[in-house]
Structure 1
Amino acid sequence: MSTSKAGEAEAEAGGGVLPRLVTLLRPERFRLAVVGAFTVSSVGLLVIGPWLLGRATDLVFDGVVGRRLPAGQTKAQAVAELRAQGHGHLADMLAGMAVRPGAGVDLGRLGQLLGLAMTTYLLSALFGWAQARILTGVAQRTMYRLREATEEKLTRLPLRYFDTHPHGDILSRVVNDVDNVDTTLQETLNQLPSSVLTVLTTLGVMFWISPVLALASLVTIPVVMAVVSVLAGRAKARFAAQWEQTGQLTSMVEETYTGHALILAYGRRDLVAEEFRQENTRLRRAGYSAQLLSGSIFPAVVLVGNLNSVVVAALGGYQVATGAISLGAVQAFIQYSQRFTAPVIQSAGQMNVLQSGLVSAGRIFEFLDAPEEPALPAEPAEPAAEEQIAGNRPGGHRVRLEGVSFRYTPDTPLIEDFTLEAAPGQTVAIVGPTGAGKTTLVNLLVRFYEADGGRILLDGVDYRDLSRDQVRRCFGMVLQDTWLFHGTIRDNIGYGREGATDEEIRAAARAAHVDDFVRTLPDGYDTVLEGDASNVSSGQKQLLTIARAFLADPGILILDEATSNVDTRTEAMIQAAMARLRAGRTSFVIAHRLSTIHTADTIVVMDAGRVVEQGSHAELLDRQGFYHELYHSQFAETLVS
C-alpha cells in the first residue's frame, strides 16, 4: 500500500477509532466518576471566582465615586444634579451604581470578597490537582492493558502475517504508535471534560450577566469550528501518511542494522545512506505537512478569540457608560469571555495531538484486528488422544503426513500430495535443492502454517483435533538462524525448559560442548549476551541453541541446518552430540551438506514440493537417481575446492 493510499484509508477509518478508544476506559468507570465530581467542583469554583472579583471591583469603584460626592446627598439627588448639568451619560452610569455619597471604599467587605475569591481559586486548584492525579493513573493503566493486548496479539498471529508485513512497521505500531496514543490520552483526558464543562457553565453565567455581550461572543464559535474543521480534517490525512512513513523508515533501519556487516563487505554504505536520506526526506515532508496544518489551528483560533475580546470590551464600555451594566460586571464578563474561548483555543491547540493519536490508534486497532490462528480445535480432542501425545514417550512419537498439499499464495502450488511417515525413534533426513519445500515442511510439522489439503497425524491423532500448543509441546527445534536474547548464558540455555536447575543447564551445556568455552569466559554462565550476541562467535551461538534443545528434551526433534555455522572440528563434536540427542526420539534433519546425514534411518529427497526418492543412504546411491546426482555433485565441489 502506498503512503497516500494508506493515509486515506486511515483517515476514512478514523470515524470508528474514537468510540473504540473510549471503550478501553470501561474498566476505569468508577475512577472516572470520581474525576467527574472533582471536575464539576473545580470548574464550578473557577466560574465563581470572576464574579467575586467583579463584585470587588464594583465595591472599589463605588467607593471611589462615592467619596467624590458630597456627604449627606442622596444618590438620586446626585443623579438629578448631573442631568441638570448636561452630563446625561454620567448620570446614567451613576444610577446603575450602588454608591453612597460621601462614603469611601468598604475595606472590610473588600477584604472578605478577596479572601473568598482566593479560597475559591485554591479549592479549585486542589480539585484540579486531584483530578489530574487520578486521570494520570487511569491513562497509564489503560495503556498498560493496550500494551498487553498488543503483546498477546503478537503471540497469536500466524507466521504468514510476519512474512507479509515489514518487521519495522510492526515494531512501529506496537512501540511508537502506542506511545503516541499514550500521549494523546494523557492530554485529552485532562483537558476535554473540564473544557466542555467550563464552556457550558461560563456561557450560562455570561447570558446571566449580559445577553447582548453573550450573543456577541457566540458569533465567534461558528468561525472557530469552521477553522478547526477545515484544518483538522486535512491534518488527519497528513498524520496518517506521516506514521505510515515512520513505519517504513523503522523497517529500513532494522534491516540496515541487522545487515550492517554485509553492507560494509559489499561496499554499499553510500548507497544505503542515500536510500536512508530519501526515506528520511519523505518522512520530513510528511511530518512538515501534518505539523504545518495542525499548527495553523492554534494561531487562527487565538486571532478569532482576540477579536472577540475587542468586540466585548467595546460593547461593554458602551453599556457601562449608559448605565446598563456595572464596571465590575464588564470586568467579570471579559474574564468569562476569555475562559469561554480558552478551552476552545486549548482544544484547537491540541488538535494536532488528537489527530495524530487517532491515526496511531487506528494503526494499532488494525493490527489487533488482524486474523488470528484459532487457539483450539473446533472440537476438543478426546482425553485418551491427549494422553496419547502427552509427554515425551520412550521411543519418540509417530508422525504421518497423508496427501498433504500447501501453497503460500493461491495461484502458486508448492507442496502437492505429500505423504511421509516417521516411526518413533526414527531419524528422517530431508534433502533437496533450494526451493524444494524442505523448510515449508518444517513449518507444517510445527503448525506455523496449516496444510491446505490432506492431514498430519501425531501418534494417530489428527492435527486438527489438537491445539497448536499441544502439538508444539512435542517438538524441539534447532534452526540455522540462531535466536539468543539479551541475558546471561544460563538464561539463554534455561529457556529450553522452565524451572530447570543449574545442574541440568550445565549437563545440557556439556552434552552440546558448550561448557568448555563458557568456562573460559570471565563470568562463565553469568556472562551477559548483548542484544545480538555479538560477544560470542556464530559457531558458539549455534552451540548455545543446541544446548537449549538438549535441555528441552523434546519427543520430536527438528534440526534445520543446525551445524551450518560451525567449523569442521566443531561439526564433528556436534554430530556426535546430535546422535545422542536423537536417541529415543523422532528426528527430522534438514541439511544441504549430504555428508552429515548419511547415518539417517530414512532420507527423503524432495524436488518442487514432491517426494522423488526415499530410502537409506546406501539404497539411494545404488539407485543412481536424483540423490546420487546431488551427493556426487557436492563431493566433486569439495574436491575442487
Structure 2
Amino acid sequence: MSGPSRPGPGPRGPGGNTAPVVKAQNFGPSAKRLLGTLRPDKPRLIVVLIFAVLSVGLSVLGPKLLGEGTNVVFAGFVSLQVPADATQEQVVAGLVASGQQEQADMLSAMDFTPGAGIDFDKLAGILVVVLAIYLFSALFGWLQARMLNGIVQRAMHRLRLQVEDKVQRLPLSYFDRVQRGDLLSRVTNDVDNIGQTMQQTVSQVVISLLTVVGVLVMMFIISPLLAVIALVTIPLTIVITVLVARRSQKLFVAQWKSTGVLNARVEETYSGHAIVKVFGHQKEAEAAFREENEELYRASFGAQFISGIIMPAMMFIGNLVYVAIAVVGGLQVAAGIISIGDVQAFIQYSRQFTQPLSQLGSMANLLQSGVASAERVFELLDEPEQTMDADPAKTAPADASHLEFANVSFRYSADKPLIEGLNLKAEPGSTVAIVGPTGAGKTTLVNLIMRFYDADSGRISLDGVDIQTMTRDDLRARTGMVLQDTWLFSGTIRENIAYGRPGASEADIVQAATAAYVDRFVHALPDGYDTVLDDDATNLSVGERQLITIARAFLADPRILILDEATSSVDTRTELLIQRAMSRLRADRTAFVIAHRLSTIRDADLILVMEEGAIVEQGSHDQLLRARGAYWNLYNAQFEAPMEEEPETGAVAVVTGAIDAPPGDGDDGLNRSATSM
C-alpha cells in the first residue's frame, strides 16, 4: 500500500462526517501483502508444503499404475486371441507377412504370452498398491488441510488484533472524517471475507499448482507429443484469467466499497429512526437505501458474472484438449508407439491437468473479492497514527489541577484558522464555563485539554508540565468527562458505573450512584444495580442514562472535570440536584463546563465567551452582564419570546422580556420593547 485513501472534503471539526473514497490497488502487491500475514507460521507452512507434495505425488502415481493394470488386462485378452503354441515374435511375424502392419506394431509394443490369459495375481498386486497410494495420499491431504486451516485462522486472529490495535492508535481526526458504518464494515465484513477467501483458496491453490507440475512431469514421461498438446491450455488459461481479472478487480473493489456505504446508511438510519419518523423522512430514507442497495447489486452482479466466465471457458478448453489427446493417442497406440494403458493414463492426466487450471480460474472471483477486502483493511492499517507519547515522558504531581493555555493556536484544516493565540489560566478548585455560538471552538478547547488533538503551536501545561511531554494515559487518567451524548455499554448498571474506576468496591459504587442521584431510580428497577442494559440502554430514559454517566465520573474521582452539556438531558429538578452534587465534586478540582443554557453556569468562577476560536470576554456572571457585551447578548437571547408573524402584514414581532441587571450596577434594567421587522 502506497498510502491512505484519498478522503473527501476536509473534516469539519469534531462530529464531521465525510465518506472516504476507496483507492483501488494493484492485485499483485495486495495479494503479496496478504500472503505475508502467514509469515509468522513459516515452519508450519513448510510442513504443510511437504504433506501437500506427498499427497499430490502419490495421487499422480495412481493413473500410471492403473494404466499398467489396463495393460495387464488387455495383454491377457490379446493372448487368448492368438495360438497358444506360438511365441510373441512368431505372432508378430505372421501379421507382418499377412500385410497387417498396424496390428503387428501394436502387438510388438506389448508384453504377453500367447494363450496365457489375464495374469490376475499381477493385476491384484497393482490394485493393492494403487489402493495404498490413494489412502496415503488422502491421509497426507487431510493433514495438510488441517494444519493449513490452523495457520489461516491464526493469521486472521493476528489481523483482527492488528486492526483493533490500529483503531486504538488512530487520532480522533480519522473518526471525524469517516462514516462509522464504513469503518465497521472494514473491521467486520472485510476481515471476515479475507478469512473465508484464504480458507477456501490457499490450500486449493497449493494443491492445484503441485498437481499441474506433477501431472506435467508424468505426461512428458509417457508421451512428449501429447504433453505438448496439453500445454496449449496454459497460455490460453493465463490470457483468459488476466483479461477477466482486470475487469473484475475494479468491480470487486466497488462491491466492498458499496457494502461499506450501505452499512453506514443502515447504521445511520436505524440509530436515528425516531428522528427520521418525526420529520417524515421514511420515504427519503427508503429511496436512499434503494439507490445504494441497487449500486451494490450492480457492482456485485458485475463482479460475480465477469469472474464466473472463467470456469466455463476453462472447461471448454479442457474438452478440446481431451478430444485432441484421444485422437492423437489412439493413432500412437495403433502405431505401437505407446501402450493402450499409457493412453488411458494420459487421458486421466489430461483431466487432472485441466481440472486444477479450471479450479484456479474459478477461484479468481474469490481471490479478487478477498484481495479487494484486504486492500480496504490494509488501507485502514496504513492510516497515519496519532503522534507517539514523549519518551521519556514527564509527569505532573498527583494532585495537579492548574491548567494554563499560553499562546495556543490550532486549526483542523490548514487553510481554516480556528483558535489563534489563546491564553487562559484555570486555577485549582475553580469552575471555568465556556459559552459561545456553535462552531466557536468550545469543544475544540476540551479536545486540546484531553489531547484528542495536539495544539499546532503554544503550550498547554498542567501544574507547569507541558501536557505534550506527558503520556496520554497519564493525562487522561487525571480527567473525568461527561458528554451530552451518553455512552453506556451492554452490561449491568453496576458495571457501567464501575467503568470509571475498575476494581472499585461496592460501597464506592453506591456512594457515587447516590451522589449522582442514580440510587433514587435504581431501586425502582426489578434487578436494581444488576439491571442489564440492552443495546443503547433503551430500557432507561435519556435522563437516567445521563445520570449513570455522571455517576461514572464521580467514581473516577478526577482532578480535572469536563462537562460538555452534561445536564442537558435531565429535567429541571434533577438538574438542580446534579448541580449541587457537582459543586461537591468540583471541590479542589478544576472543572470545565461547556453550556448553552446560561442559567446553569451562574455560579461559575470564570466564564469564557468564545467566538471564532478566540476568547472575546471573560469574567463572572455578574461582571459579564454589567459589561453588556457578547455574553449579555447570549443571555438576553435565551429569554426572547418566539417570533410571531402578523397574519395581515406578514411582519414579525419580537417580544423581548427585560432582564434585570445585577444589583448595584446603576441601571434599572432593560426596557421591555416590541420591535416590528
TM-score range, shorter chain: over 0.9
The alignment status of 1:539 with 2:543, answered yes or no, reads yes
1:194-273 alignment runs, 5 A limit:
194-273=207-286
Which is further off, 186-195 or 139-148? 186-195
Amino acid at match of 1:380: P
Question: Hey, what does 1:473 align to over in structure 2?
Answer: 477
Question: Which SS does the other structure have where 2:566 is aligned?
Answer: coil
Q: Distance in 2 between matches of 1:636 and 1:187?
A: 67
Which of 133, 144, 158 aligns to 2:171? It is 158
The alignment status of 1:360 with 2:364, answered yes or no, reads no
* Deviation, structure 1 residue 640: 8.0
Q: Distance in 1 between matches of 2:183 and 2:641?
A: 42
* Contact 1:74/1:101, CA 8 A, preserved across alignment: yes
Question: Hey, what does 1:562 align to over in structure 2?
Answer: 566
1:58-73 alignment runs, 5 A limit:
58-73=71-86
* Deviation, structure 1 residue 537: 0.7
* Deviation, structure 1 residue 8: 8.8
Amino acid at match of 1:128: G
Q: Distance in 2 between matches of 1:252 and 1:350?
A: 31
Amino acid at match of 1:77: Q
Which of 52, 57, 74 aligns to 2:65? It is 52
Q: Distance in 2 between matches of 1:363 and 1:72?
A: 79
In structure 2, relative to structure 1, the CA distance for the partners of 1:6 and 1:69 (3 Å cut) is: farther
* Contact 1:6/1:240, CA 8 A, preserved across alignment: no
The alignment status of 1:552 with 2:556, answered yes or no, reads yes
* Deviation, structure 1 residue 398: 0.6
Which of 523, 528, 534 aligns to 1:524? It is 528
Q: Distance in 2 between matches of 1:2 and 1:545?
A: 34
* Contact 1:7/1:238, CA 8 A, preserved across alignment: no
* Contact 2:454/2:468, CA 8 A, preserved across alignment: no
In structure 2, relative to structure 1, the CA distance for the partners of 1:640 and 1:262 (3 Å cut) is: farther
The alignment status of 1:627 with 2:627, answered yes or no, reads no
Q: Distance in 2 between matches of 1:147 and 1:602?
A: 47
Which of 139, 149, 156 aligns to 1:136? It is 149
CA RMSD of aligned residues (A): 1.8
Question: Hey, what does 2:646 align to over in structure 1?
Answer: none
The C-alpha deviation readout for 1:23-52, integer Å capped at 9, x for no partner, is 211210111111111111111111111111
The alignment status of 1:21 with 2:34, answered yes or no, reads yes
* Deviation, structure 1 residue 314: 0.9
Question: Which SS does the other structure have where 1:267 is aligned?
Answer: coil
Q: Distance in 1 between matches of 2:120 and 2:417?
A: 94
* Deviation, structure 1 residue 18: 2.0
Greater percentage in helix: 1
Question: Hey, what does 2:519 align to over in structure 1?
Answer: 515
* Contact 1:480/1:562, CA 8 A, preserved across alignment: yes
In structure 2, relative to structure 1, the CA distance for the partners of 1:8 and 1:347 (3 Å cut) is: farther
Q: Distance in 2 between matches of 1:530 and 1:547?
A: 19
Question: Which SS does the other structure have where 1:323 is aligned?
Answer: coil
Question: Hey, what does 1:483 align to over in structure 2?
Answer: 487
The alignment status of 1:97 with 2:101, answered yes or no, reads no
Q: Distance in 2 between matches of 1:620 and 1:204?
A: 92
Q: TM-score, normalised by structure 1?
A: 0.95
Which is further off, 72-81 or 560-569? 72-81
Amino acid at match of 2:357: V
Q: Distance in 2 between matches of 1:334 and 1:494?
A: 72
Question: Hey, what does 1:380 align to over in structure 2?
Answer: 392
Question: Hey, what does 2:650 align to over in structure 1?
Answer: none
1:77-116 alignment runs, 5 A limit:
77-116=90-129
Question: Which SS does the other structure have where 1:10 is aligned?
Answer: coil
Question: Hey, what does 2:187 align to over in structure 1?
Answer: 174
Question: Hey, what does 1:449 align to over in structure 2?
Answer: 453
* Contact 1:6/1:241, CA 8 A, preserved across alignment: no
Amino acid at match of 2:213: L
Amino acid at match of 1:10: A
Question: Which SS does the other structure have where 1:611 is aligned?
Answer: strand
* Deviation, structure 1 residue 353: 0.5
* Contact 1:8/1:237, CA 8 A, preserved across alignment: no
* Deviation, structure 1 residue 60: 0.8
* Deviation, structure 1 residue 2: 10
The C-alpha deviation readout for 1:395-438, integer Å capped at 9, x for no partner, is x5110001111111111111111111111111111111212111
Q: Distance in 2 between matches of 1:9 and 1:561?
A: 39
The C-alpha deviation readout for 1:244-291, integer Å capped at 9, x for no partner, is 111111111111111100001111101110110011111111111111
Question: Hey, what does 1:464 align to over in structure 2?
Answer: 468
* Deviation, structure 1 residue 6: 9.1
The C-alpha deviation readout for 1:305-360, integer Å capped at 9, x for no partner, is 11111111111111111111111111111111111121111111100111111111
Which is further off, 539-548 or 605-614? 605-614
* Deviation, structure 1 residue 582: 1.1
Question: Hey, what does 1:340 align to over in structure 2?
Answer: 353
Q: Distance in 2 between matches of 1:129 and 1:475?
A: 56
Amino acid at match of 2:383: A
In structure 2, relative to structure 1, the CA distance for the partners of 1:7 and 1:230 (3 Å cut) is: farther
* Deviation, structure 1 residue 198: 1.5
Question: Hey, what does 2:649 align to over in structure 1?
Answer: none
Question: Hey, what does 2:501 align to over in structure 1?
Answer: 497
Gaps of 5+ in 2: 1-5, 9-18, 643-654, 658-677
**Percent of aligned pairs with the same amino acid:** 54
Question: Hey, what does 1:284 align to over in structure 2?
Answer: 297
* Contact 2:480/2:556, CA 8 A, preserved across alignment: yes
Q: Distance in 2 between matches of 1:2 and 1:289?
A: 26
Q: Distance in 2 between matches of 1:7 and 1:610?
A: 34
Amino acid at match of 2:589: R
* Deviation, structure 1 residue 576: 1.3
In structure 2, relative to structure 1, the CA distance for the partners of 1:432 and 1:2 (3 Å cut) is: closer
Runs of 4+ in 1 over 3 A off after TM superposition: 5-9, 635-641
Q: Distance in 1 between matches of 2:200 and 2:352?
A: 19
Amino acid at match of 2:131: M
* Deviation, structure 1 residue 590: 0.7
Gaps of 5+ in 1: none
* Contact 1:430/1:604, CA 8 A, preserved across alignment: yes
Which of 20, 24, 27 aligns to 1:10? It is 24
Q: Distance in 1 between matches of 2:500 and 2:51?
A: 52
Q: Distance in 1 between matches of 2:482 and 2:188?
A: 29
Q: Distance in 1 between matches of 2:119 and 2:334?
A: 24
Amino acid at match of 1:475: T
Query: What count of residue pairs does the alignment treat as equivalent?
Result: 630
1:184-199 alignment runs, 5 A limit:
184-199=197-212
Q: Distance in 1 between matches of 2:572 and 2:63?
A: 86
Question: Which SS does the other structure have where 1:68 is aligned?
Answer: coil
